[in-house]
Amino acid sequence: MNEAIIELAKVSAAYNGELALQEVSLTVQRGEFLAIVGPNGSGKTTLLKVVLGLLRPLAGRVRVFGRPPWQLGTERWRIGYVPQVHQADLRFPVNAYQTVLMGRYGQLGLFHRPGPRDRAAAEQALERVALSELAQHPIGKLSGGQRQRVYLARALVARPELLLLDEPTTGVDPGASESFYELLSSLHAEGLTIVLISHDVGVVAQQVDQVACLNRRLIVHGRPQEVLSSEALAQMYGCEAVLFLHGRVPHIVVERPEENRS
């Protein structure tokens, strides 16, 4: 029997005083690997903030593990979160291991310090993302791809049931990006529920088993090969768009209205 991990019912939300989501209904089942895709300004990150409980909706119903996310309390460890690389302050004087260990603090409680089990969990998380040898490197000295693996390890160290990622490969070179997606696929194969925010429709369509196309409203939701039609892409981007393969790499060609003028 399927178990709904995330449930959104007619959710509307505003960001910076402007409507960013309008009557979005979406369900994520346990074990799914979902990509939420759309152009810049389509409400993707706002939706993530709603699921994380960082932003209250204007209307609608939000449930994560059967409860409003802002009421999860001590069960927040069940959600792992990986932000965009550029959101971190690289001047902060911590190394990779210390960064990962921070992911255990939510389970320790006030005035408790990490113990042997927490330190072992941090080491295991770094090993899981293949960065054990860089454990003592300052976070600011790592490459973009390495930092993103550290943030993934920090999200995994509490052993969450749901992993949320916001544009995880933005600013990361193609080789590191491919390696990162392979790691996510491996985690999904182990049973982790993953929701990934991206504007790169072509790349994520190869990795996930569900896609939700968003442009303030939910346009379509389903398996990539079924929902990534020219019609859905046109609704998402507001103009004609076609998904095609160049070699093994998918690309989107967007045809702006002015390009049709003679």
pLDDT digits (tens, 9 = 90+) for 148-207: 999 999 999 999 999 999 998 887 888 888 889 999 999 999 999 999 998 777 778 788
Mean pLDDT split into 10-residue runs, the chain, 262 residues: 91 94 97 92 93 96 97 91 73 88 77 83 95 93 90 95 93 84 94 91 82 91 79 61 42 48 40
**What local confidence, expressed as pLDDT, does residue 169 receive?**
85
**What local confidence, expressed as pLDDT, does residue 235 receive?**
67
**What local confidence, expressed as pLDDT, does residue 149 receive?**
93
**Residue ranges of E strands in the chain:** 4-15, 18-29, 33-37, 59-64, 79-82, 162-166, 193-198, 210-215, 217-222, 240-246, 249-255
- Alpha-helical regions (H) of the chain: 44-52, 96-101, 105-108, 116-128, 144-156, 174-189, 201-205, 224-227, 230-237
Q: What topology does CATH give the domain 4-260?
A: Rossmann fold (3.40.50)
**What local confidence, expressed as pLDDT, does residue 244 receive?**
41
**What local confidence, expressed as pLDDT, does residue 18 receive?**
93
Q: Can you give the pTM of this predicted structure?
A: 0.85
* Nearest alpha carbon to residue 136 among 103, 100, 96, 102: 96
What ranges do the domains of the chain cover? 4-260
**What local confidence, expressed as pLDDT, does residue 249 receive?**
42
